[in-house]
Amino acid sequence: MLLEKLSMAAGVPGHEDAVRDAIAAEMMKYADEIRVDSMGNLIALRKGRKRDVKVMLAAHMDEVGLVVRSVDPSGLLKVVACGGVDPRVLVSKSVKVGTKMIPGVIGGKPIHLQKKEERDLPIPMEGLYVDIGAKSKEDALKMVELGDQVVFDTQYERIGNGRLKGKALDDRVGCAHIIEALKRQHDFDLYGVFTVQEEVGLRGAQVAAWAVNPDLGLVLEGTTAHDVFPTEEHKSSTFLGKGPVIVQMDASMFAEPKLVARLIEVAEAKGIPYQHKTTISGGTDAGRIRHTRAGLPATAVSVPCRYIHSPVSIIDENDFKNAGKLVEAFLDSVDERGLPR
């Protein structure tokens, strides 16, 4: 399955090579042009039949993780967060380090040795390390290098009733949707942009949007779901199983209203379930696209995702499929009626 392949690829910010290679291999059959810009964004073009309009779909390739910053004399790797990682969920997690995918475990001071005041607090990032089984600093540096990425070693799999579990579903779900969208030709030029460094400041999208200069941008994302008891409904943000999320605003942007209206219209016409976010925290590449050049029409369609920015997340398979249907219906509407005006 495409999503499984993308989920299992490794790519913390600045190290997206393996993800980019996996996507490029899929795109070779469908894209008319593929290029990689100086930032590392992968830009694929499916030329349109009329070529009078440019539509940009964007999804980020990077995932939250860690980076090796030093090695101590005993061979343990000291690390820093790369993206919004919560240190409370890191202890004892299995990881892979560097391009050689060296196996390791995130460790910290055992609870038996902690003082009472330490037990009441999560171990801070500076108190964590990655153990790759090295016996010394020299031994460790034969296996890894400073600056190597550290990714979570999480197996993608189906669980329960129609749920999918894996790492980096934020935002490999969006990458999968773009690949599917580029399989079909439209009247307009369709750009599939797979961005870098979203998790550390939405950096790649700004560069790519400036270069492509689309007539509109639609970002495909994974977004926060906290629909677990006893969270109050208005604090849950989004809900698994209630459909893709049409984003009206978040901390990075106010979406183009006419674009939001068109998405709602086509969703209702096609009987595709959808929802809105009840919180506005966080941002997406749409924020950068929206504020590029003189301002570009943009918003996001997201798949609700539990336990986001952690070693493992869960999505509902129907939400994932319906998000793809919504993107397809929206692109068909541009063929039929032109851009939202």
Q: Residue 311 phi/psi, 5° resolution? A: -65, -20
In a domain, 243, yes or no: yes
Residue 341 pLDDT grade (very low, low, confident, very high; cuts 50, 70, 90) = confident
List the Cα angle 15/21/24 in 5-degree steps: 135
What is the rounded distance in angstroms from the CA atom of residue 139 to the CA atom of residue 141?
Answer: 6
Asked whether residue 76 is assigned to any structural domain, the reply reads: yes
Residues designated catalytic:
198
Residues 142 and 233 in one domain: no
Q: Is the residue at 248 inside a domain?
A: yes
Q: Which sign does the torsion angle of CA 84, 2, 218, 307 carry?
A: negative
113 has a pLDDT exceeding 80: no
241 and 129 share one domain: no
Q: Is 221 contained in some domain?
A: yes
Q: What's the pLDDT band for 234 if we cut at 50, 70, 90?
A: low
Q: Are 41 and 92 in a shared domain?
A: no
Same domain, 223 and 171: yes
Q: Using an 8 Å Cβ cutoff, are 190 and 232 in contact?
A: no
Euclidean distance between CA atoms 333 and 224, whole angstroms:
28
Q: Are residues 271 and 305 in the same domain?
A: yes
User: Domain limits at 302?
Assistant: 2-63+167-337
CATH code of the domain containing 312:
3.40.630.10
Is residue 277 domain-shared with residue 219, that is, in the same domain? Answer: yes
Co-location of 322 and 209 in the same domain: yes
The strand pairing partners of 107, in sequence order, are 129
**208, part of any domain:** yes
| Interval 314-323 mean pLDDT | 98
Residues 43 and 126 in one domain: no
* Total count of domains within the chain: 2
Residue 1's pLDDT band (cuts 50, 70, 90): confident
Residue 161 maps to a domain: no
- What does the alpha-carbon distance between residue 235 and residue 224 come to, in Å, rounded to a whole number? 11
Among 102-106, 133-137, 230-234, name the one with the lowest average pLDDT: 230-234
Q: Confidence class of residue 229 from pLDDT cuts 50, 70 and 90?
A: low
How far apart are alpha carbons 241 and 253 in whole angstroms? 26
- Domain of 101: which CATH number? 2.40.30.40
- Taking CA atoms, 299 is separated from 46, 92, 217, 278, in Å, by 21, 38, 7, 16
Nearest-angstrom CA–CA distance, 307 and 309: 7
Q: Give residue for tokens 């032109």.
A: 338
Which of 102, 127, 152 is the endpoint of a domain? 152
Asked if residue 13 and residue 147 are part of one domain, the reply reads no
Query: If you average pLDDT over residues 293-315, what whole number do you get?
Result: 95
Count the alpha carbons within 13 Å of 180 in the hemisphere toward its beta carbon.
21
